[in-house]
Amino acid sequence: MNNQKPYIWVPSLYLGEALPFSAVMLISVIMFKELGLTDGQITVYTGWLGLPWVIKPIWSPFIDNLKTKRWWIVSMQFLMGFALAMVAFTLPTAFWLQGSLAIFMVIAFASATHDISADGFYIIGLKEKDQDLYVGIRNTFYRIGMVIGQGGLVLLAGHLQDGTFGEAFQSTATSWMVVFVILGALMVLLGTYHSVVLPKVETATHERFKFSEQMKEFVETLKVFITKPHIISALCFILLFRLPEGLLTKIVPLFLTRTTAEGGLAMSDKDFGLIYGTLGVIGLLAGGIIGGWAVSKWGLKKCLWPLVLCITLPDAVYVYLSYFPTDNLWLTGSCVCIEQIGYGLGFAAYTLYLVTFSRGERSTAVFSICTAGQYFGGVMLPGMVSGLISENIGYQKFFLLVMLLCLVTFAVTAFVKIDAESKDHEQ
Q: DSSP per residue over 122-179, as a string?
A: HHHHS-HHHHHHHHHHHHHHHHHHHHIIIIIIHHHHHHHHTTTT-GGG-SHHHHHHHH
Handedness of CA 40, 43, 45, 48 (dihedral sign): negative
Residue 157 lies in a domain: yes
Residues 6+ apart with CB under 8 A from 207: 66
Q: What three-state secondary structure class fits 267?
A: coil
Domain assignment present for 121: yes
- Using CB atoms within 10 A of its CB, is residue 388 exposed (0-12), middle (13-18) or buried (19+)? middle
Helices (DSSP H) in 162-299: which residue ranges?
A: 172-197, 211-226, 231-240, 243-257, 269-277, 279-298
Question: Domain range spanning residue 145?
Answer: 6-197+218-426
| Prediction pTM value | 0.84
Domain assignment present for 205: no
pLDDT string in tens for the chain (427-residue length): 444 588 899 999 999 999 999 899 889 999 999 999 999 999 999 999 999 988 887 777 777 777 888 999 999 999 999 999 999 999 999 999 999 999 999 999 999 899 888 988 887 888 777 777 787 788 778 878 888 888 889 989 998 998 888 787 889 999 999 999 999 999 999 999 999 999 888 765 555 656 677 677 778 888 888 888 889 999 999 999 999 999 998 999 999 999 999 999 999 988 988 887 677 778 877 887 888 888 888 888 888 999 999 999 999 999 999 999 999 998 999 999 999 899 889 988 898 899 888 888 888 778 878 888 888 998 899 999 999 999 999 999 999 999 999 999 999 999 998 764 444 443 3
- Give the CA radius of gyration of the chain: 21
Contact 300, 425 (CB under 8 A): yes
Instruction: Identify the sign of the CA torsion 291, 294, 300, 304.
Output: negative
**CB burial readout 55-67, b (16+ within 10 A) else e:** ebbebbbbbbbbb
Q: What angle do CA 317, 321, 322 make, to 5 degrees?
A: 115
* Inter-CA distances, 260 with 179, 254, 321, Å: 27, 12, 12
**Using CA atoms, how far apart are residues 118 and 16, in angstroms rounded to an integer?**
9
Q: Phi first, then psi: give them for residue 67, nearest 5 degrees.
A: 60, -155
CATH number of domain containing 245: 1.20.1250.20
Q: What's residue 2's pLDDT?
A: 46
15 neighbors 194 (Cβ within 8 angstroms): no
- Residue 97, in any domain of the structure: yes
Tell me the CA end-to-end span of the chain in Å, nearest whole number: 26
Provide the domain count of the chain: 1
